[in-house]
């Protein structure tokens, strides 16, 4: 059965039937149309980048209000505060390819151009204090009387271009699930550093724990977050970082995972992660926030499975107006314990796409300062030491309970079958006596891995200094 049309489709259809279209006060010249078409086609470097631009627009407005994006089968609806916008301004600037000086407006226009001109999708933009709204029907921009208004900006976006034909709705329904997943993935990969609550498709995605390389997954275990300080412009920490921590594989929260399942424990790392998460003090801003993460993989050896170290590269993620706009390596060495550092890209130049920073002395200097701060942070991980002690004590308690139970069962069995009973008594006594030793060995491995991370960063810092001062000796 053909599905009901979306609210945006219903609105556009009602306009077409009633003729209720207010004439636009602006129009394209041929030169401007060609210029804007090129901007729409080539400015944003990947599919659904307009989602990231909407987040940037909301953050750059500096209202501090939440952002919400609801994804339906045929449309996306975005809501965020934009008190300085007017319909007159947006209509006028929509036809102007020249960059607008205010970033929040510039980000929003970039998103609207990509949606309307590149993807040929309709949209309706409504502001809370305006009687009229802006409507792009896939071919032209015009005003219409706003029927539904909220206390913030509301933007309805068709997820498929307007087409005709009896079977087109079938194609739309067949691809709607993939389209929805792509949009969510884009928001997750770029928006997890958002400094205000960001909800996409019903999921909170503003958390450093959602970092794709160093956040919580089945193979990556964030040991802690350091909030380094220094002579750098600070970042606002995503508020969801301190709430029920999500993961890329389980957005509901890794604290709800069944830690008794061996394939989910990371060989004891999950208990350390949970402990340190609960002890992290809420921090509003930090110059060099960083995830310190251990990497493991659950591998098959013969007829059983075991955890073994997995190597990753330490990274720097650059944040501008709340989203990841670029990344680079913090060091060239693959390590089993690495760091993801998040730095403010404010004031650094980007290329025309705005998703890649240009190389500059200032960029290199910020990375150098971040390395100095991270080295100091690694030396002061008192919360992590407590997490190590907690994980050892937890394993010791569990092992002693199971060992003691096996010992008592062996004593009872001895009178029935002396050989079996003696074996159980010996095994239980050994388990009780060596309780916690396995976790102690793992913790020692982790400490050594953190030491290697610190040494690697120091070496990189030394290379940076030598590049600045070629005559510098070790």
Give the pLDDT confidence score for residue 417 in this predicted structure. Answer: 59
CA separation for the pair 269, 394 (Å, rounded): 12
CA separation for the pair 444, 447 (Å, rounded): 5
Give the pLDDT confidence score for residue 466 in this predicted structure. Answer: 78
198-200 sheet: strands from edge to edge: 141-145, 132-136, 123-126, 153-158, 75-80, 67-71, 198-200, 203-204
- The answer to whether residues 296 and 267 touch, using CB atoms and an 8 Å cutoff, is yes
Give the pLDDT confidence score for residue 98 in this predicted structure. Answer: 85
Count of CB atoms situated within 10 Å of the CB of 94: 21
Task: Report the predicted TM-score, pTM, of the whole model to 2 decimal places.
Answer: 0.81
**Strand, helix or coil at 89?**
helix
Give the pLDDT confidence score for residue 16 in this predicted structure. Answer: 47
Architecture of domain 7-179: 2-Layer Sandwich (3.30)
* End-to-end CA gap in the chain: 74
Token output for 445: 């491995």
What residue ranges of the chain have pLDDT lower than 50?
1-2, 11-12, 15-22, 26-28, 30, 167, 248, 250-259, 382-383, 392, 399, 403, 406-407, 425, 428, 430-437, 472-474
The boundaries of every CATH 3.30.565 domain in the chain are 7-179
Count of CB atoms situated within 10 Å of the CB of 444: 11
Beta strand 132-136 with 141-145: parallel, antiparallel or unpaired?
antiparallel
Give the pLDDT confidence score for residue 258 in this predicted structure. Answer: 41
User: What Rg, from alpha-carbon coordinates, does the chain have?
Assistant: 28
Question: 230: phi > 0 → left, psi -120 to 50 → alpha, else beta; which?
Answer: left
CA separation for the pair 162, 167 (Å, rounded): 13
Give the pLDDT confidence score for residue 97 in this predicted structure. Answer: 84
């Amino acid at each position: 059965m053909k599905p009901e049309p979306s609210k945006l489709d219903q609105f556009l259809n009602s306009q077409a039937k009633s003729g209720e279209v207010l004439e636009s006060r602006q129009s394209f010249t041929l030169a401007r149309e060609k210029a804007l078409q090129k901007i729409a086609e080539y400015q944003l470097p990947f599919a659904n980048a307009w989602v990231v631009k909407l987040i940037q627009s909301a953050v750059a407005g500096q209202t501090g209000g939440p952002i919400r994006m609801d994804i339906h089968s045929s449309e996306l609806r975005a809501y965020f505060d934009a008190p300085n916008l007017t319909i007159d301004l947006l209509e006028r600037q929509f036809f102007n390819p020249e960059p607008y000086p205010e970033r929040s407006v510039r980000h929003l226009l970039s998103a609207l151009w990509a949606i309307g001109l590149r993807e040929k999708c309709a949209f309706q933009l409504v502001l809370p204090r305006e009687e009229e709204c802006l409507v792009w029907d896939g071919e032209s921009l015009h005003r219409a009387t706003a029927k539904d208004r909220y206390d913030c900006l509301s933007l309805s976006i068709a997820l498929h271009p307007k087409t005709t034909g009896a079977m087109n709705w079938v194609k739309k329904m067949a691809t709607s699930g993939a389209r929805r997943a792509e949009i969510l993935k884009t928001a997750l990969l770029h928006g997890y550093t958002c400094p205000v609550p960001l909800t996409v498709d019903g999921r909170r995605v503003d958390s450093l724990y959602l970092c794709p390389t160093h956040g919580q997954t089945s193979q990556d275990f964030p040991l802690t977050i350091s909030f380094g300080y220094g002579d750098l412009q600070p970042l606002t920490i995503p508020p969801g970082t301190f709430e029920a921590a999500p993961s890329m594989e389980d957005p509901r929260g890794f604290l709800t995972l069944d830690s008794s399942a061996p394939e989910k424990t990371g060989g004891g790392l999950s208990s350390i992660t949970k402990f340190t998460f609960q002890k992290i003090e809420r921090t509003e801003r930090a110059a060099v926030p960083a995830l310190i993460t251990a990497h493991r993989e659950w591998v098959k050896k013969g007829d059983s499975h075991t955890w073994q170290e997995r190597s990753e590269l330490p990274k720097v993620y650059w944040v501008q107006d709340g989203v990841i706009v670029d990344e680079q390596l913090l060091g060239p060495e693959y390590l089993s314990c690495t760091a993801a550092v998040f730095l403010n890209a404010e004031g650094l130049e980007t290329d025309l796409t705005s998703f890649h920073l240009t190389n500059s002395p200032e960029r290199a200097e910020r990375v150098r300062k971040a390395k100095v701060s991270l080295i100091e942070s690694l030396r002061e991980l008192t919360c992590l030491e407590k997490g190590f002690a907690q994980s050892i004590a937890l394993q010791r308690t569990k092992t002693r309970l199971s060992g003691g139970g096996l010992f008592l069962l062996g004593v009872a069995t001895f009178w029935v079958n002396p050989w079996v009973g003696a074996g159980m008594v010996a095994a239980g006594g050994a388990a009780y006596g060596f309780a916690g030793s396995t976790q102690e060995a793992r913790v020692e491995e982790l400490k050594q891995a953190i030491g290697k991370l610190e040494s690697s960063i120091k070496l990189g810092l030394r290379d940076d200094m030598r590049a600045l001062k070629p005559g510098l000796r070790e």
